[in-house]
Each structure stands twice: as C-alpha cells, then as structure tokens.
Structure 1
Amino acid sequence: MTFKTLTALSAIAVCFIGTAAMAQTDWPQRTINVIIGASPGGDTDFNARTMARYFEEITGVGMVITNMPGGGATIATSAVRQADPDGYTMLFGHTGHLIVAEVSGLADYGIDDFEICCVPAIDQGAVLVASASSGLTSVEDLQAAEPGSVTFGTEFGGYSHLQGLIFQEGAGVEMNVVDTGSAAEKIASLLGGRIDVAGIAYGAVQDYVEGGQMVVLGQPNDERNALLGDIPTFKEQGVDFVMNNPYIIAFPEGTDQAIVDKMGEVMEQITENPQYAKDLEQGFKQPVAFMPKEEGVARLNEIRDTYMPYSDALQASR
C-alpha cells in the first residue's frame, strides 16, 4: 500500500469519524416521548412537564408527556425498556418506579436495565400527616398509641408502603397498614376519617393543614426543607427516618451514550435557571437538586441497598 493510499484512507477515516460524532451530537431533531408511570397532576407529572417546558426553550425541540399509571409504574417502565434505543423515548420516574418495584417483586428488572442519565430533582416536599379526627398532633402521640390502633394509608408494594415500614421501625411504633390507593385517595380517606396517617407531598395537603383538617407530624429529610415552613424533621424529633425520593431520567438500554450525556447537560442547564427554581417552589415546595450520571447512579444504588432488607415484607403484601 502506497503512502498516498494510506493518506487518502486516513482522510476518509477522519471524515467518517467526524460525521459520526456530529450525528451523535445532532440529537434532538424531533419530539421526544417522555413516559411517566403516574397520573396527571401529581408531583412526578409536574416535574416532568416543568422539565419539558425548559428543555424546549434550550433545544428548540418539544417533549410530549405520556402518562402510563398502573402496575406500580411497571406499565411505564416496561414501555420504555421495549422502545427503540434511539433517544426519542425517555423515562421520567423516581425510586418508587425503578427501585421499589424491583424490591417488592413487581418488576424483575431495575436501574441496571436502563441507561441512567441523571437525577434531575429530589422530592424533598413529602411529609407525614395525620387527620385532625385522629387526635394525633405529634410523633409522641403516635408513639403513645396502642399498637395497631393507628391506621396508616398506603399503596401496597409501592413507595409509600416502604415509607410506612421504615417509619415504623425508626419510630418504634406499630400501625395498622392498609391499602388505600393513590395520593388523591389517601387525602379523601384522611378527610373521611377512614385512615389516620399517610405520607403525602406537602403541596397536595397544605390547604387542609392550614384549614385545620390535617396535622403535619414531620418531614423525612436529613435537614429541613425551608420551603415547607416551620416543619421539623423526624431526626430532630429523635426518629431515625430519612427518606428522600430522587427522580430519575433514563433511556432504553443501548441508547447512544452521547445522547444520554447530552440530556444530562441540558438538564443541568435547566436547574441553573432561577425561574425553574421558582416553578418548583410554587408547585410542590421543592428545592432545586441535580446529580450527574455517576453521582446519581451511586446514590440510587445506596438507596436500593437500604430498601432491599424490606423485600420480604413488601412482597408478602402483594
């Protein structure tokens, strides 16, 4: 092979590599389908739609939010797993969808079966609330109650079920855990006196708290989320109960890493926008948080290791 031939082949190779790299960074060029395993109106739906609005501002490309509730979010996660790994189908979920579903046996797959992009936000707006009719006004009241006399409303096998199990262990209490359903159904059951305590986003119950129909027992954050106002953490009250819920952006396994990285970069840009911070505060009292891929995956694996000991209890409820 002559020197001229080698030079020509090298030039062709360089052009090919350059073209391939450009194709990888050309994403996105058309609308992206964002699948979430939750109904419209909740915190997951709110976070996904807020992200989509700012994503379009930055990239000029729109996102369509597809709600696929049911099955502990396995309908949504299965749809993403089975989608073409072309970068135009994306999951916006949280640890309940990709970790608790695995721990509870609802799914035989987990975070390792997706291309995790980042942790775009962390739900720090959850609280445990008691109905006013229960007579509970503090953690001390709950600890003083007869074992099994307080009813905790949850969704069996889901995130809020795990929330109840971990709280009971940390607080040293024994509650009657019942399957109530979604957040909206928990609120209705609290107001109707059918359950006494539930874990719910504060933004969804703030009006009832201010109206005297519900009492906040505490927030399960490591440090106070100041956006919730004067609500103490459970740690402050001597209860070992810290349970934040990171959101997760993920693509089907096999998606080009350049696309995954590009989405992470765009999401980080979004979190740097002051108006985005205001939107999160007004929506669900949620401070801005972001973890790039490596940090996010490490955190998600820590959470999975923490939740796995509760696998038998969750699976027994199914």
Structure 2
Amino acid sequence: MKRWGIVKKGSTLILALILSAVLSSIQPIQAADKYPSKPVQLIVPWKAGGDTDALLRIIAHFAGKYLGESMVVVNVPGVGGTMGARQGKDAKPDGYTLTATHESVISSLITGVADFDFSAFIPVANMVSTPEIVAARKDAPWKDMKELVADAKKNPGSIKFGSTLGSTSHFFPLEIADAAGIKFKIVGYEGTADRQTALLGGFIDLGGSNPASGKKYFEAKRLKGLGIATEKRHPLLPDMPTLKEQGIDVVFAVNRGICAPLNTPKPIIDKLGQVFKQVSEDPEYVQKIATLGTDIVYRDPAGYKAYIEKASTTWMRLADQIGLKKK
C-alpha cells in the first residue's frame, strides 16, 4: 500500500509538471491573441523634429492602423540616443514598449558611450534605409570615385573626409577606405549641420550626404556627388553612379528599425513583424516616405537580425583597425 501511495504521489507530481509546462506554452499564444489591448509606446531616442523622428512618427501612425491600437511616439533624447535605448531595453517585455533603433546602437558600444548593443534587444523589423553619398567640395579635382581613389593612393592620408567621430558618418569613409585600399584624413565635427557647412565652405574635401538633402546642392553645382552607396542607381539621382559601378564594393545606409526588449514572447514579435510588413506595403505610407527622400527596406525579425550581425562584425573589425574600439 505504501509503495502504491508513493507511485500515486509521483504520478500526480509528473502530471502537475506536464500540465504546468503545457499552460506555460499556451500563455504567450493567448497573450498574442489579445495583443494589443492598449496603446503601444514607441521610444524614439532622439529629439522631436529631426529626420529620424519624422520617419518614425509616420511609421507609428500607420502601425496603429494595422495593430488596432494606437502607437504613441515618446521622445527620450540624450547621450547620442543611448538614454532612450537603455530605457527601451529595460522595459517590461510585453510588447507595449518598443524602441526605434539604427546603427548608432552598434557605434555607441564601440566608442564606449554605451555598455550594450543590439544583443540587448529582439529585432522586430527594419523599416527604412537612407543611403549615403560621397559628396565633394564644388572645386574638388575629381569627377568620380575612380579619380578620387587614384589620387588617394598617390597621396595617402591627405584627402580630408568630414565625419562625427564614432558615428555612422565615421564608419562610411572607413568602409570605403577599407574596400578601396586607401586612407582618408578624418576630420571630426559635432553633427550633420557642422559637417555640411564645412564641406560647402571648402574646409574639407569630402563628406557624406544623402539623396534628399544632397540633391539641391548637386543640382546647383555647390557640391559634387561622386557616387552613391546603393546596389543600383537611386531614382532621385539617376545620373549618379553607384560605388559598386566604380569598383568599390560598399553598400551603406542608415537603417531605421524597431526592436523589443529581450524575452518578449515570440508570438508577439511575429505579430509585430507582420504588422510592420503591412505598413511597408501600404500605398499611402509608401507615398509619404518617398516625399522624405528615403527608401523603404523592410526586413522581418530574422532578416533584421542578420543585417545587424553582419554590420556589427564589419564595424567592430574596422574600429579595431584604427584603434577606435574602447577596451
């Protein structure tokens, strides 16, 4: 009788454990079925009114259309985007707090501004991509990248490329130099406006630009566009050759996406990924994004993660080469 009692108690314990495991697996699915039942917060780690903020507000507006609940942008600027990103990564992993991200999450760890990177998040979707252009001062002696590279090989470290040190604008010339086997003299500026002013004034030779902001300067002959870092020519600048066309295997852009805190249930991540895919295909959304001169590049959770891993590996290697990476 005692032996039977022990077996019975053991069987009851096993059944209880099995039932607990089954219920645990069902709960995230049920949560996704009910999700969302209230507005979703999107942390944008930069000031209101900037390019990134404008793009994310459009994305959030259309996400609300397919979520069935509004997506509310909350600006949390500070420390180069790190303050808002930290708040986002530490949020409750229930799908109600998401974070807008781009490559600054990689560079902030490299430069020691942050102690975390994309591994502190679950990638949800890449939404837009703003390609970079190599812009030269109006009286620069080169008409294309081939001439620039030839000159740089003859005079290593003499051509001045303006960037904000440790930012995406810094890694653009680093990738070009690495691919072409040349060396630039990097000149640091605080932000985009300062770099643009220096380039227009002829104080530096080169700087990064993009189709939306650079088009008017190229057309007015105030700057030269030597090449765009895209797979194929851009519709806003169809006469500008790509870097690849000119023998430089570099595709470079600022990719803005959405991430969630670690441990957010997979059914919720999958649901959000589908919502953002619907947004990326919405005709009105496509039209609005086009007016801002950026490109719609949707990557699902797996695709966004793969892109992040590739970019992180490349940037870490380049940072090591020039001693930029903080130990």
TM-score, length basis structure 1: 0.84
Aligned partner of 1:215 in structure 2 is 224
Please, what is the CA RMSD of the aligned residues? Answer: 3.1
- Aligned residue for 2:166, secondary structure, equals coil
Aligned partner of 1:5 in structure 2 is none
Distance 1:39 1:195, change over 3 A: farther
Distance 1:107 1:194, change over 3 A: same
- Aligned residue for 1:137, secondary structure, equals coil
Q: What do residues 232-263 of structure 1 show as CA deviations (whole Å, max 9, x unaligned)?
A: 11111112322244333111122232222221
2: distance between equivalents of 1:171 and 1:66? Answer: 41
2: distance between equivalents of 1:262 and 1:149? Answer: 51
Bigger drift between 65-74 and 172-181 goes to 65-74
Aligned partner of 1:118 in structure 2 is 125
Distance 1:91 1:19, change over 3 A: closer
Aligned partner of 1:78 in structure 2 is 86
Aligned partner of 1:131 in structure 2 is 137
TM-score, length basis structure 2: 0.82
1: distance between equivalents of 2:76 and 2:195? Answer: 20
2: distance between equivalents of 1:162 and 1:153? Answer: 11
Instruction: Specify which of 184, 198, 206 is matched with residue 193 of structure 2.
Output: 184
Distance 1:70 1:137, change over 3 A: farther
Whichever residue aligns with residue 122 of structure 1, its letter is S
Distance 1:40 1:196, change over 3 A: farther
Residue 29 in 1 paired to residue 37 in 2? yes
Residue 142 in 1 paired to residue 148 in 2? yes
1:80–1:90 Cα contact (<8 Å) kept: yes
- Aligned residue for 1:315, secondary structure, equals coil
2:169–2:208 Cα contact (<8 Å) kept: yes
Aligned residues: percent identity? Answer: 29
Aligned partner of 1:103 in structure 2 is 110
2: distance between equivalents of 1:24 and 1:316? Answer: 40
Instruction: Specify which of 58, 80, 104 is matched with residue 66 of structure 2.
Output: 58
CA drift at 1:303: 2.0
Whichever residue aligns with residue 177 of structure 1, its letter is I
- Aligned residue for 1:85, secondary structure, equals coil
Matches within 5 A, 1:238-317: 238-286=247-295, 288-312=296-320, 313=322, 315=324
Unaligned 5+ runs, structure 2: 1-7, 9-15
Whichever residue aligns with residue 81 of structure 2, its letter is A
- Aligned residue for 1:295, secondary structure, equals helix
CA drift at 1:277: 1.8
2: distance between equivalents of 1:198 and 1:39? Answer: 23
Larger Rg: 2
2:189–2:195 Cα contact (<8 Å) kept: yes
1: distance between equivalents of 2:235 and 2:247? Answer: 19
- Aligned residue for 2:156, secondary structure, equals coil
Whichever residue aligns with residue 121 of structure 1, its letter is V
Distance 1:199 1:69, change over 3 A: farther
Aligned partner of 2:177 in structure 1 is 168
1:157–1:314 Cα contact (<8 Å) kept: no
Unaligned 5+ runs, structure 1: 2-8
CA drift at 1:154: 0.8
CA drift at 1:136: 4.2
2:100–2:256 Cα contact (<8 Å) kept: yes
Distance 1:285 1:223, change over 3 A: same
- Aligned residue for 1:232, secondary structure, equals coil
Q: What do residues 69-103 of structure 1 show as CA deviations (whole Å, max 9, x unaligned)?
A: 44342222112122222322211111x22223333
Distance 1:236 1:22, change over 3 A: same
Whichever residue aligns with residue 87 of structure 2, its letter is A
Residue 205 in 1 paired to residue 211 in 2? no
Q: What do residues 83-125 of structure 1 show as CA deviations (whole Å, max 9, x unaligned)?
A: 222322211111x2222333344333222211221222333x3
Structure 1 stretches of 4+ with a deviation exceeding 6 A read 13-20
Q: What do residues 175-205 of structure 1 show as CA deviations (whole Å, max 9, x unaligned)?
A: 2201112222222222232322111222112
Whichever residue aligns with residue 136 of structure 2, its letter is A
1: distance between equivalents of 2:134 and 2:216? Answer: 15
Distance 1:42 1:56, change over 3 A: same
- Aligned residue for 2:212, secondary structure, equals helix
Distance 1:316 1:52, change over 3 A: closer
